[in-house]
Structures are given as C-alpha cells and as structure tokens.
A and B are shown apart, each in its own frame.
Chain A
C-alpha cells in the first residue's frame, strides 16, 4: 500500500476495485465502512455483488476482465471534463501525452457495451473520484489474477496520478496483500530477480554488496518464477524442490499440472505445520513451528514491520523454519548460518536493506514501524511518494494502454465464465480447515449461479452439478443467487474435496507471471437426470 490502513478512514472517495474486502481483509473493511459512516463516498467495481456493495454509493458490476477499459474510460471522462490535476501531472509525472493519446481507443459507449456498466455510472464514478478528494483506490486479487494483471495495476496508477491522488494522506494506490507476510517475503528477497530490499541480482553493485556480506560468489542470472518452477519440474529441468508452508495442490491455478509436476520431481522436501495434500507428495517432510511458537517479524500490507512473539513452546521435535534452513545450509557447507535467535538474523538483514536499516527488535518493542525507515532516528513512513516517485527520474510514469484480450474465451461448448472468490471464514484452507468452528460457519464449497442461468440449465438450489472447464471437471453444490450476473458463476478454493483450481487456467501475465484464476470458461452438466413433466 502506498498509504496506511488508518488513513482510509479519512478518504472522501474510496474506489474499491476487485476486492471482496469484508471477506478477505475484514479489518480494512471496518475502516472503509467507518469512512462511509463519516460521509465518504464508496464506489465498488466488481463482477460480483460483494457484501461491500451494501455500503456503496455506486456499484459498477463489470464483466470479468474489463477493468482496464473501465478505468481508461474513467480517465477519459476526467480529462474531457477538465477534472484532472494539471499541476500534479506537470510537476510530478511524465509520459502524459502518450497516455492521453491511448485514451482515444476507449469511447464511453464502447466501454459501456464491453463491460456491461451503464455510461452514467462510469461518468459518475469518474467525477466522484476526481472531484471528491482525497480519493483512495484499494484493490486485490480481482485485479492481479488476470493475464493482464500488471496492466490492470498500471491503469489504476494512471488514474491516481492523473488526479493527484497519490503522495498525500488518505489517497494512494493500495493493493491489499493476501497472506499475512507477503509483503515481508517480497522485502526479504524471496523473489527470483532480487536480493533483500529489491536490489537486482543482475546488478553488479548489488551483487558485490551481498557477496561481501555473505562472503561467497553469487549467481547473476535471475531465477525462475513460481509458475516457471512448476513448468521446470514438469519438463525435468528442475530436479529438486524445497517447498515451505505452501499447498499448491489447492492453491495453484491449473492444479493438475502442478501435481503432475511435483510427482515428476526427483527429490522434494516439504516443510510445514500439517501434512498437507502437497506434503503427501514429498520425499521428506519437516515439521515446522507455527507463528505462536516462534519469534520474528511480519510486515503487513501497509509496510508495517511488527514483532511476532513466541507464546508457547512447541513440542520438542518441532522447529522454527529459520533453524531448519540454517541447519541444512551448514550441512551443505554454507558459511554464516550460525544463528542462535531470530534477532541475529534481523541484525544481519537490516543494514543490507536500506528501507529496514533504522528498524531493530528493540525499537519494535515500542510498536510496529512502517518502512522506509532509513535510520534509527526515522519514525517510519505513513505514505509513499510524498515528494518524488521511486523511479530514476523521480517522476511518476503514465502508461499508454490498449484494450486487452482475456486468455480464456467462452464459446458454445464452454458458455459460462467462472471466477474465483474467497470466504471470510477460510484462508486457503490448510489452517482454517483445522479449526472446528470455522467449518461450522462455512462447511463446503458452493457454486454461485444467477437465477436466469439456473432456469436456463434447469438447475435447482442445492443441486449437485458437474463444472467442466477445458482442463478438468469438479462436482459441487449450486447456490442460486443474483450476486453474479447471468453468464457468470463463482466458487472459492478453500476445500480439498472440491479442488476449484483444477478448473482454472494456468496462463500467466507476461510481466508478473501471475496465473489467471479470475476468468475461466466452463459449462455446467447436470448429474441428476432431468425430470420430464
């Protein structure tokens, strides 16, 4: 997030794109609802009528995969009506002319037709966002899990820069990170192209710095991404895999490909707290401590580094992840893995990562600190891009965009669009499925289907059907609801009994390599024979 959670309450307009916030980020949703209570306007853009819509002033229910046209049309309205922040564009940004040019591909009438959102609504949303400021954009997986996910994000950034809604309190471009420590995992360099602190492995200065710190020579070639790793396992290019705390059998798009890939792996080590569906496939399984049994830090979606503290001791043979990895490293001849407590790891890391340099366990005892925090005197950073952007020129770059094609198209054989969603009561599943009460609240997977489609296919509420995509088929119970538009159905992916991601498409965004799980063509087959009246 460029801005902080607490700032959301101060926004005058909130644009929530592709996020089912009340389910996926409930505490952030409290801030949004609080802002609305205090007079803010809430605009929701989502293919599904999510719970948040109850609090929204405007709901733009677009067809899945039409976010870019919608956002570009809004930008065009803002420019044509002279509502943009000319001074901000002039002083803080670059690439405007090209961007403006690219907007002429998006006529309001065509976008309305394409997205299924009425013209007046697009105009009203654009005006609110540009005029009723500060405006804050929040977005989530609905935006990133597309073949064109990266461009979706750029479209959002365009809109924010155009109206000067960035680098100020209660504004900004705010991705809501899914897992508790996604932000931290990225910051720490659990990415194929960067060292900790986003310092490029291909960059010689960065590499020298880490070679000196770690006293080894390092490989300059960027590694493979998550999806490429699974392709590599499948093709035999990768022979051994060390997988920590993840369950690709449930979470991976096109899961049958991932399962086959892992089966082909010569040697696979899984480190987890449970014997997950993925761990079952491993050659060695290592029992790891849970968050309550170890010390450390997490970094949340607003870049706040906070202390995780050991509340109970684990059983004797359960070990923290850092300990296990360090033990392996030592056995493989690694130097500099003699940590006795996590604080030593943090002390080694902080000087190497400029935005963490001023943070220490001692300071964190007084409360979390938001990076960048370059030195011990620095109090942390509430919102980013205040005076300059993190580009070479310091200016925010507009991006010219054209209308994207979705990877999956519907046709006569697969006439419906399946889009995935989350439940408030589950998180992926490995953990929540083992909490009795959470299963009482949400027992099994449901396919959400519009009454018109249900009538068309003669399906009753609660009926079990087979959902077939170009890759696989799963069986699931139907819940008839107008939350989705006709032609669109939705499912979550928390239940191993109903592996939704077997259906979804593994095609990836060319830049971020994020697989698309949000758009998948399917058909519905009846299991129960049709009664003839």
Chain B
C-alpha cells in the first residue's frame, strides 16, 4: 500500500469554507459545511453518492452559487468575485471532472492547448508545443498527442483531463471521483499520479471519492460528508476507528483491497 509521501503541509489555508448552505428547490444538499484545506495538503472528501460532494467543489470553483456561508479560496471570497476576478482565480484552480469532460471534437493536443492559448497571450508555437509535451510527459501519455478522446481508455481520458488542468500550473486541484469506473490497477496509477502532481506542482487538493483505497493512498486528511454536513474528520485510521454505525457501514461497503 502506497502512502502519501512525506510532504510539507503549510499552516496557511488554501481553501476555507464556513457554514455553507446550498439547496435546489426543496432539496437541501449542503447544510452547514465547514472545511479547511491547508497549502500542500491532500484532503479527501468521502460520502455516499448524492450527498453533494460534486456540488461542494463546484461551489469552490464558482460554477454554482451558495445560498449562505463563506467560501474563501486563496484568500478570495468566491461568491462575491466579479467575472474578471473569478476568471483570474480559476487560472489557479484545476478541476478534474468525474467523466473527464474532454472536448470530444478536439484532439488531445487541441484539448491541452485550449486553455493555454486563450489565457496566455503571445505564446509562440514552439512554447505551446513545449508546454503540451511537458504535461503529457508528466501524465505519461506522450504517444496519444494526436488521438481523439473517443480513442482513449477511461484511465487515459482521466489523465488527459488532469494534464489539461496542469498546463496552467494550478495551485489548487479539485478531483471529482478520479478513480470511479476504473479497474484496480488503473486506480492505483491514478492515485500515484495524484501524489506526483502534488510533488511536482506543489498543489493543495480536494479529492472526492468513495473508493477507500484511493482515500488511503492520497489523503493526508479525510472528511466524511453525511446528510449535508461533515460528520467526521481526520486521518484514515482516525476516521474509521469507530463503532458508529453509519461510518462502519460505509467502510464495509466501500473498502475493497
């Protein structure tokens, strides 16, 4: 079992959320969420499907507006940012979507260039190529550069999705179920990649998952979302050494080694 490599975790907060509420109509998804992510830290968010894990990170990235509460990312209050400020903040956030969200109509190269050429002005062709090759290399998929997303496997798509965010040198990474639907070996590779990304790009991350192998391999700290609140927080052992029924049953259902 690979453990997260020892890594300096800062005391400064990258993300700080207080008293966050979000409903869709009558559906109260988040009900008073508090969460801190320190610089350099990997925080795993656990929870059954439909508990609002994706909603939480979409609020962090400014894709959804919260009903109530404060959401500070790199010392900026996300819900009250102007369009321009939000755009600048997003350059520092990498978002890996659950189903990778690669642009179907573009090749791998075009997918990777897409954010770069639109956000960094006056890059030469060779600078763009170098950046593309570098991120492809860091996810180990240099050979796929001219392929279409439909020709890639699930694990490869996930990696390209991560590479597409790395090209902007993010300070924060948000991974939405990075190992969902992948076979165990590919899962392990993705876990390693998540840890490598932190080493190489010095990112602070939130990793959403209900794969406990992934949680154990990547998380410095785990937080369990249940009924719209975090009910438990700590290292893997701290979270699961308990007799509490809802945590034990979650463990029994999700831990496959």
Partners in one complex: no
Chain B interface (Cβ < 8 Å from any Cβ of A): none
Chain A interface (Cβ < 8 Å from any Cβ of B): none
